[in-house]
Every structure is written in C-alpha cells, then in structure tokens.
Amino acid sequence: MSKHTYLPILIGAGGVASYFLPSFIRTFKFTKGFIVDGDTLEERNLDRQLFNKDCIGKNKAEALVSTLRLKKHFDTIPQYLSESSIPEAISDRINRGLNSSLTPVIICMVDNHPARRAAINIAEQHQTLFLMMANEYETSQAILHDFSSYPPKLAPQVRYPSISTGQSNNPISCQGVALESSPQLAMANATAASLGNLLLWQWDQSVDCWGIAPSWLPIEHQSTISNLETITYEQANKEILPK
C-alpha cells in the first residue's frame, strides 16, 4: 500500500488515462479528485482506449468515470485545460488537500504543449507533485517532478524547452514522445501508463518525510519496443541545460 494519500488531478482522459487509472486506484491510497478533458469519445477511439461502447458520444472525462465506475471518487470537468482557463475548483481543492496533509498530484496525459504548460503551472503554483505521460506509435515516456523540493533545473519544461514555447501538438522531446492524434499502438498507451504508475510508486516508497529524494530515484522512464531507459535524479541534476 502507498505511504501517501493522494489528491489526484487528472488532465486528459484519453488512451493513456484509460490504462493508468485501473492500476492507480488499486495501488495508491487517494481521496476524491478531478478528471479534466473537453474531448468527446468517438467510436474510432475504442480500438486502443478502454471505454465502454455505450459511452460513445459522451465527454471523455465523464465516459472514463462511467466506464470504471468511479463517480464517487472523481468529479469531472468537461473542458479543455489552457493557461487562460484553469478552473478555480481545482485550486480550491488542492489548497484544502495541502491543509489536510494530503499529497496533491497533477497527472498530465494530454497531447499538446499548451495544455501541458497549464498543468505544469498548476503544479508549480501550488508546489505539488507533477506526473506526465505520453506516447507515439511505439515509444512511451513518463516524467515525474516534485515542485516542492526538486531543483528547478529538473522541471520538465526546463529539461524539454519546447514545452514552454510550443503552440501545437508537439512531442515532448526529439526522441519522440507522443501525439494522441498520431497513429498509436494500444500497448504504447498501456506502457506509458505503466511507466507513470511505476514512477509514482518509486517516489512514494523512497522520498522521506522531508521530501528529500535519494540520488538513485528515477525521474523519467522512456521505452521503445526494444529498449527501456531510466533517468535518475542524480543523472538529471548533472545534465548540462540547453542554451
């Protein structure tokens, strides 16, 4: 069982989220959170996303909650997240969570940089944990950053500067992380979700009560069909930042 009790704020309810949530709810202690997504579930999504067929036509956040029978555990916000439209309800619940010794975690599973920036802004503003997952056809990636204690140079938008400037559906890195609009394999969605759950579990079990991370703690996992790469806290802290 997890050491922390999480307040999960899920940004994006597509393919990765549909694989992430079933493992998350069986692994971690959590209190009622949010799922934010403005997209509508289409029949073509069902070839790689774990939704019930009768949810076609519904908002994806609502469809995910309905499919997994989590209405008691998640409120839905059926809108796209952007830097100019962050729902006040999210900030209010995070503040209440921080005052109740919960561990808020912003879980970003979107396919575009503006929404990633908005999710990062929420985590940075409230100094919370941030978990991001994405994938393309065969490549999957997960990144974790603790805005309350990690050095700023380890933040995802610093390590991958395109997040701070991109305006379209761009990969996180040149190695190719993930556009939901591109063709993908269901197993790539599932792998990104598994790597994200793994990163959160490793953080949960390893960070001490002062929020200090051991040097070997992974902050990123990347996977292709033939390779798995892990980047640790220590390795990233020694990286030379892009100019």
pLDDT tens across 56-71, in order? 888 889 888 888 898 8
0.95 exceeded by the pTM? Answer: no
pLDDT tens across 155-174, in order? 999 999 989 887 665 434 33
pLDDT tens across 186-220, in order? 788 889 999 999 999 999 998 765 567 788 899 99
**Tally of CB atoms within 10 A around 159:** 20
Q: Rounded to an integer, what distance in angstroms lies between the CA atom of residue 104 and that of residue 112?
A: 23
As a whole number, the mean pLDDT across the chain is 84
Asked if residue 180 has pLDDT above 50, the reply is no
Using pLDDT thresholds of 50, 70 and 90, give the confidence band for residue 120: very high
**Tally of CB atoms within 10 A around 137:** 14
Asked if residue 84 has pLDDT above 90, the reply is no
Q: Rounded to an integer, what distance in angstroms lies between the CA atom of residue 183 and that of residue 125?
A: 34
Question: What's the CATH class of domain 5-237?
Answer: alpha beta
Question: Average pLDDT for residues 95-104, to the nearest whole number?
Answer: 88
Is 14 in contact with 108 (CB distance < 8 Å)?
A: no
- CA pseudo-torsion sign 19, 20, 21, 25: positive
Those residues with Cβ within 8 angstroms of residue 227's Cβ, 6 or more apart along the chain or in another chain: none
